[in-house]
């Protein structure tokens, strides 16, 4: 069994531990931002952490009303542009805390007087030392190159940041997420069986929108780095504006389809894909009783979730499928070719 699969299974415990131990940090940060509310939030990250940041953009803008930007580190590291972060909250997200360009952006923002926050799994990392305030993902050591438990841990921390900023994010709802992830893990036999269907898959598209747009990026990344599948990721809205032309009969498309605000858009996309005879696998939950209308197969979580709480549980079957598919292809997801756990870029 791969370490990736082991670490996927560790997520309920990791999430519960993170939530329990980081609540004091959230309370302290809440008191601080009540006196110094930022006018802008800038999220800076790379790789899987950048996908968590993409989730954070939707979560924070929707729930707090504060504009959120995703930083392009090369603006600072290559072009040496003087970006004014003085009234911003700059949040750096890194599994290892050693992402060079992420740390450079955070360090320069702090010099300008920005409020800085680090989210990392490593308490002794450079990021933890650079940021004024730190939230720790309590996931334990992540040994597989393919990040899984740190991704969901980062998303959980971003819920806590939203709560600290006054968002209507109920802690009681967050406390139910580990159990929802436990329920999602029960889909592992189904994902193992489904992976046989995609053993020879070389290309795919992943579609999501809103809160689950980031999961489309993350699932596609896992397919690329662990299974060597060329996986494109799209918003369902952008997909209809051109990329859908690449779809032909039996072309595999994976869609995150929660009930809620994004369902009408996702539903229209699924209907169009069905007419094109695509191979459509939909990830949803028990609340969405219509998801199977235009899908080839439905991956249904045995829980009922509000849309804003779906991203963490919904990514679990995607992670499981990627890990199982790598095994089907005879690949080692823990050590993808040419990759290492920490990537240093400027």
Give tens-digit pLDDT for 316-336.
Answer: 999 999 999 999 999 998 887
Say what percent of the chain tops pLDDT 70.
97
**pLDDT(129) > 90:** yes
Check whether residue 168 and residue 194 sit in a common domain.
no
Q: What is the mean pLDDT of residues 127-143?
A: 95
pLDDT at 145: 87
Check whether residue 110 and residue 243 sit in a common domain.
no
Q: HSE (CB half, 13 Å, CA atoms) of 333?
A: 29
Check whether residue 117 and residue 7 sit in a common domain.
yes
Check whether residue 129 and residue 152 sit in a common domain.
yes
Check whether residue 143 and residue 25 sit in a common domain.
yes
Contact between residue 105 and residue 73 where contact means Cβ atoms under 8 Å apart? yes
Query: Does residue 346 lie in a domain region?
Result: no
Q: What is the mean pLDDT of residues 297-311?
A: 95
**Minimal CA–CA distance to 181: which of 341, 2, 26, 318?**
318
Query: Does residue 324 lie in a domain region?
Result: yes
Query: Does residue 20 lie in a domain region?
Result: yes
pLDDT at 67: 98
Give tens-digit pLDDT for 8-45.
Answer: 999 999 999 999 999 999 999 999 999 999 999 999 99
Backbone angles phi, psi at 332, to 5 degrees: -105, 105
Check whether residue 114 and residue 186 sit in a common domain.
no
Query: Where is pLDDT greater, at 259 or 243?
Result: 259
Residue 217's domain comprises 179-328
* Residues in Cβ contact with 109 at an 8 Å cutoff, skipping those fewer than 6 apart: 42, 83, 85, 88, 90, 116
Check whether residue 128 and residue 10 sit in a common domain.
yes
For 73-77, 89-93, 211-215, 217-221, which range has the lowest pLDDT when averaged over its residues?
Answer: 73-77
Please tell me the pTM assigned to this model. Answer: 0.95
**3 state SS of 205:** strand
Mean pLDDT of the chain: 93
Our count of domains for the chain comes to 2
Query: Does residue 334 lie in a domain region?
Result: no
Check whether residue 84 and residue 205 sit in a common domain.
no
For 114-123, 175-184, 194-203, 233-242, which range has the lowest pLDDT when averaged over its residues?
Answer: 233-242
**pLDDT(228) > 70:** yes
Check whether residue 158 and residue 194 sit in a common domain.
no
- Please state, in angstroms and rounded to a whole number, the distance separating the CA atoms of residues 9 and 138: 15
**pLDDT(263) > 60:** yes
CA 30 vs CA 16, 35, 94, 166: distances in Å: 20, 9, 22, 8
Query: Where is pLDDT greater, at 343 or 67?
Result: 67
First to last CA, the chain: 35
Give tens-digit pLDDT for 70-91.
Answer: 999 999 889 988 889 989 999 9
pLDDT at 252: 96
pLDDT at 247: 82
Check whether residue 131 and residue 20 sit in a common domain.
yes
Residue 13 sits in a domain whose CATH number is: 3.40.50.10490
Check whether residue 148 and residue 242 sit in a common domain.
no
Which single residue is written with the structure tokens 């699932």?
A: 219
Check whether residue 185 and residue 51 sit in a common domain.
no
Boundary of a domain, candidates 152, 175, 198: 175
Boundary of a domain, candidates 175, 190, 218: 175
**pLDDT(344) > 80:** no
Query: Does residue 131 lie in a domain region?
Result: yes
Partners of 207 in beta bridges: 234, 255
Q: What is the mean pLDDT of residues 193-210?
A: 96
């Amino acid at each position: 069994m791969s370490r990736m699969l082991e670490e996927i299974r560790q997520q309920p415990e990791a999430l519960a531990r993170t939530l329990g131990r980081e609540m004091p940090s959230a309370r302290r940060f809440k008191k601080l931002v009540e006196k110094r509310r930022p006018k802008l939030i800038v999220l800076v990250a790379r790789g899987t952490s950048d996908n968590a940041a993409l989730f954070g953009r939707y979560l924070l803008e929707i729930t707090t009303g504060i504009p959120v930007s995703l930083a392009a580190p090369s603006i600072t590291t290559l072009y040496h542009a003087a970006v004014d972060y003085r009234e911003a909250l700059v949040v750096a997200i890194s599994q290892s805390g050693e992402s060079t360009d992420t740390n450079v952006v955070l360090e320069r923002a702090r010099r300008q007087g920005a409020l800085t926050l680090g989210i990392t799994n490593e308490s002794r990392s450079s990021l933890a030392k650079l940021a004024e305030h730190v939230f720790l993902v309590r996931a334990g050591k992540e040994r597989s190159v393919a990040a899984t438990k740190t991704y969901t841990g980062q998303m959980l921390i971003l819920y806590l940041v939203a709560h600290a900023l006054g968002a209507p994010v109920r802690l009681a709802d967050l406390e139910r997420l580990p159990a929802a992830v436990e329920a999602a893990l029960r889909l592992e036999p189904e994902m193992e069986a489904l992976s046989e269907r995609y053993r020879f898959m070389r290309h795919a598209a992943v579609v999501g929108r809103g809160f689950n747009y980031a999961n489309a990026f993350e699932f596609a990344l896992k397919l690329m780095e662990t299974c060597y599948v060329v996986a494109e990721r799209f918003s369902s809205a952008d997909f209809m504006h051109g990329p859908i032309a690449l779809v032909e009969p039996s072309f595999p498309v994976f869609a995150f389809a929660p009930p809620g605000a994004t369902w009408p858009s996702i539903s229209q996309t699924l209907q169009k894909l069905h007419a094109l005879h695509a191979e459509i696998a939909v990830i949803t939950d028990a609340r969405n009783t219509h998801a199977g209308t235009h899908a080839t197969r439905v991956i249904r979580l045995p829980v009922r979730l509000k849309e804003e709480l779906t991203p963490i549980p919904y990514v679990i079957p995607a992670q499981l499928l990627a890990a199982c598919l790598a095994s089907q292809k005879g690949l080692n997801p823990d050590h993808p070719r040419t990759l290492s756990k920490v990537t240093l870029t400027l």
